[in-house]
Amino acid sequence: MWIYPGYDGYARAGFTYLELLIAITIMAAGLIPVLNLMTEGMDNADFVERATRSALLAQAKVDEIRNLALGSDPSYGFDVDYTESSSAFPAPDDKFRYTVTDSNRRNIKDISLVVWFDGDMNGDLDDGEAFVNLDTRIARRE
């Protein structure tokens, strides 16, 4: 802080432009890492949200297949092959895609389901996209 005489001859205290510039530079240097952490935190929150939604959608799809395979609807049943390749969920989850692999064995179905958030909408599971893989078995009751 500099003390300088004013136009009326009395000493006045104040900050120089150089001191203000240094203070702003120090504050900016301290804020940049904080802003980077906030950005990374938001990206991680998006990834976790997508992974959680993928898990919920995967469980719902497995339950749907189980109900169709063991239900009484004649259009479906245990002998139907439920394999699907890169299908989309209905809106509002249409950015989530899934594949189903069905072993279609006689008395036990091995169902493998992969659900992912397709950020680039290319229909493929790419590196960095949140996904969930569920494997289950459905047994025929006779």
Report whether pLDDT(8) > 80. Answer: no
> Helices (DSSP H) in the chain: which residue ranges?
17-70
Taking the chain, what is the end-to-end CA distance rounded to the nearest angstrom? Answer: 91
The three-class DSSP label of residue 19 is: helix
Write down the domain spans for the chain. 2-139
Does pLDDT of 19 surpass 80? yes
Global confidence as pTM? 0.72
- Answer positive or negative: Cα dihedral of 110, 116, 122, 127: negative
Predicted local confidence at residue 79, as pLDDT? 86
Mean pLDDT within 32-38: 87
The predicted-structure confidence for 62-115, as pLDDT tens digits, reads as follows 999 999 988 888 788 888 899 998 889 999 999 999 999 999 888 889 999 999
* Amino acid letter, residue 78: F
Task: Compute the distance between CA of residue 102 and CA of residue 67 in angstroms, rounded to an integer.
Answer: 15
Q: What is the DSSP letter of 140?
A: P
The half-sphere exposure of 45 on its side-chain side, counting CA atoms within 13 A, is 6
Residue 11 pLDDT more than 80?
Answer: no
pLDDT of residue 12: 60
Paired with 14 in beta bridges are: 2
